[in-house]
Amino acid sequence: MATYDADVIVIGAGLAGLAATAELAEAGRKVILLDQEPEQAIGGQAHWSFGGLFFVDSPEQRRMRVKDNRALALQDWMGSAGFDRPEDHWPRKWAEAYVDFAAGEKRSWLHAMGMRWFPVVGWAERGGYDAQGHGNSVPRFHITWGTGPGVVAPFERRVREGVAAGRVELRFRHRVTDLGRTDGAVDTVRGEVLAADSVERGKASSREVTGDFELRAQAVIVTSGGIGGNHDLVRKNWPERLGKAPQTMVAGVPAHVDGLMLDVAEGAGARLINRDRMWHYTEGLQNWNPIWDNHGIRILPGPSSLWLDATGKRLPAPLWPGFDTLGTLEHIMRSGHEYTWFVLNKRIIGKEFALSGSEQNPDLTGKSVRDVVERARLDVPGPVQSFMDHGADFIVEQDLGALARRMNELTGDKLIDEAELRRTIVERDRETVNPFTKDLQVMAIHGARKYLGDKLIRTVTPHPILDPKAGPLIAVRLNILTRKSLGGLETDLAARVLSEGGEPLPGVYAAGEAAGFGGGGVHGYRSLEGTFLGGCIFSGRTAGRSAAKAVG
């Protein structure tokens, strides 16, 4: 009889790995959880997130007078995903299952674990096309009280309860390099033990090898994340439909998000699909106070900033702030330049700029009602003001001529013509003096303010950018920021990894970003936002429950 070190080995201690491990432990299974990073990095990328979750017909939505239902959410998901490949069979089924989850037990299940949400629901990825196209028809972005750490906490707690009960063993600094088989089934995990490292969470840890390891289990769950920290691999997988791959990007994730475990799984017989589908942001900033190398922060913008390409031309409709991330990315990468500009004023930035990331939102991350109220009273939130004061991409001036001059000085390209910039802003400003307009962006601002949440805290009343009372003027250079790979290991609805022949690879499961958040690409071509953390939770839970049954 085979001798095993555990019933199941989980590779990756991010959110998906924690969710899978928690389910396994509570089912009475013995689990070894491996991760190449130190223990202080537990929770992975989820720790750094804004904590947004996609719910359908939630109490928060209903209180904000938002009418939502499963049919509308599925329509939005499918219109955004654009599934059009034979290998989209399982991703499509995962999408249907995930929308069912988001419209069903997801919120009550998480609420029972102690999670809570900010009462104002955000409206991300608004689309701007027809009813069958991309985007959220209604606000669905629920910010977790405690942001990313608040999402990770209940799953980490459940895992540590498993440790205390003797069912879970945590092994950090274990980097997997090979999956081995016995009688056709993957049951062996081999790799290198890395040197202990007390480095701060997020910073690059040592890659010094101090030994090797070999472990055996009845099943293996791969939850190792994506490729966003490996810019060479991002460029290698970059699709032609998004234009030329950028030479310069800021990193939205730490370097350990390297995608190397995907190659290991593929080498063991797993099928990796939709490599060319990815999700990167166009509103990236160089972090003035970086944690990891080339650390980028994303602006979560309201709809009012004037978005200009590198030459000062307005981006075409509906490529406005917060409407279509990949449509904007494609336009930028076909423009011949890798950066764009927001031009706005202090009134707009004070109400409409939020910054993604748990560390950029100390009031929400710290669960401080007092600090949230204080933030609302400020002309400009503290973290945003810090970027205005110290950020390399921010220019603040009272005079438009000085603003244009410094825009050219910052890039060295000298592409901004002051007269053309003034004409563009003035013509836009003339469209703001009536409650009706032919300017589709201004029309979209009026539409946004019909939603109570936007009117209260996210969208300013349309007004001239050049209004001196709303100043000073601000220009923000925007960089491409790497974030998520949307493809991954192909899995069936039980999270079993499939081989090239379409049959389950015996003993192997996958979840989280490594599995394209479910099936090998549950989002298709585009995300509706608030769906990455939820995808990790749902697919991790599924993988854990399926493996627990298989080894029982």
Cβ contact 440:510 at 8 Å: no
Tokens, residue 436: 């009706």
Strands 278-286 and 473-485: antiparallel
Instruction: Let me know if residue 534 belongs to a domain.
Output: yes
What is the structure's pLDDT at 436? Answer: 96
Number of structural domains, the chain?
2
Last residue of a domain, one of 458, 481, 504: 481
Does the pLDDT value for residue 1 go beyond 80? no
- My answer on whether 107 and 165 are in the same domain is yes
Per-residue pLDDT tens digits for 210-234: 999 999 999 999 999 999 999 999 9
- My answer on whether 96 and 24 are in the same domain is yes
Does the pLDDT value for residue 552 go beyond 90? no
Q: What is the largest CA-CA distance in the chain?
A: 81
What are the C-alpha distances in Å from 322 to residues 109, 148, 310, 348?
29, 21, 19, 14
- My answer on whether 175 and 91 are in the same domain is yes
Instruction: Let me know if residue 20 belongs to a domain.
Output: yes
- My answer on whether 124 and 214 are in the same domain is yes
Residues written for the chain: 552
Instruction: Let me know if residue 391 belongs to a domain.
Output: yes
Helix (H, G, I), strand (E, B) or coil at 59: helix
End-to-end Cα separation, the chain, in angstroms? 16
- My answer on whether 318 and 418 are in the same domain is yes
Helix (H, G, I), strand (E, B) or coil at 47: helix
Does the pLDDT value for residue 166 go beyond 50? yes
Cβ contact 295:287 at 8 Å: yes
Q: Could you list the residue range(s) of the whole structural domain that residue 232 is in?
A: 6-218+227-236+486-550
Query: What residues form DSSP beta bridges with 279?
Result: 484
16 closest CA partner among 486, 547, 535, 528: 535
Tokens, residue 432: 């703001």
What is the structure's pLDDT at 268? Answer: 97
| Gyration radius of the chain's alpha carbons | 23
Rounded to an integer, what distance in angstroms lies between the CA atom of residue 402 and that of residue 420? 14
Last residue of a domain, one of 440, 459, 481: 481
Domain containing 231 — which CATH number? 3.50.50.60
- My answer on whether 355 and 498 are in the same domain is no
Average of pLDDT values for 3-8?
97
Last residue of a domain, one of 457, 481, 505: 481
Instruction: Let me know if residue 272 belongs to a domain.
Output: no
- My answer on whether 518 and 419 are in the same domain is no
The single residue listed with the structure tokens 């999670």 is: 115
- My answer on whether 403 and 519 are in the same domain is no
Average of pLDDT values for 493-519?
98
Rounded to an integer, what distance in angstroms lies between the CA atom of residue 67 and that of residue 322? 21
Range with lowest mean pLDDT among 88-97, 241-250, 369-378: 369-378
Instruction: Let me know if residue 267 belongs to a domain.
Output: no
pLDDT band, residue 455 (cuts 50/70/90): very high
Tokens, residue 159: 């895992």
Cβ contact 17:35 at 8 Å: yes
Average of pLDDT values for 126-132?
97
- My answer on whether 468 and 496 are in the same domain is no
Helix (H, G, I), strand (E, B) or coil at 35: strand
DSSP state of 197: -
Rounded to an integer, what distance in angstroms lies between the CA atom of residue 230 and that of residue 53? 26
- My answer on whether 460 and 516 are in the same domain is no
- My answer on whether 542 and 501 are in the same domain is yes
Instruction: Let me know if residue 177 belongs to a domain.
Output: yes
Instruction: Let me know if residue 273 belongs to a domain.
Output: no
Which contiguous run of DSSP H or E holds residue 22?
A: helix 15-26
- H/E/C letters for each residue in 146-171? CHHHHHHHHHHHHHHHHHHCCCEEEE
Tokens, residue 481: 């920021």
Q: Percentage of the chain surpassing pLDDT 90? A: 99
What is the structure's pLDDT at 376? Answer: 84
Rounded to an integer, what distance in angstroms lies between the CA atom of residue 311 and that of residue 417? 8
Helix (H, G, I), strand (E, B) or coil at 348: helix
Per-residue pLDDT tens digits for 410-420: 999 999 999 99
Does the pLDDT value for residue 291 go beyond 60? yes
Tokens, residue 462: 């349309």
Rounded to an integer, what distance in angstroms lies between the CA atom of residue 84 and that of residue 469? 50
Per-residue pLDDT tens digits for 309-353: 999 999 999 999 999 999 999 999 999 999 999 999 999 999 999
- My answer on whether 462 and 343 are in the same domain is yes
Instruction: Let me know if residue 536 belongs to a domain.
Output: yes
Average of pLDDT values for 544-550?
98
Rounded to an integer, what distance in angstroms lies between the CA atom of residue 315 and that of residue 313? 6
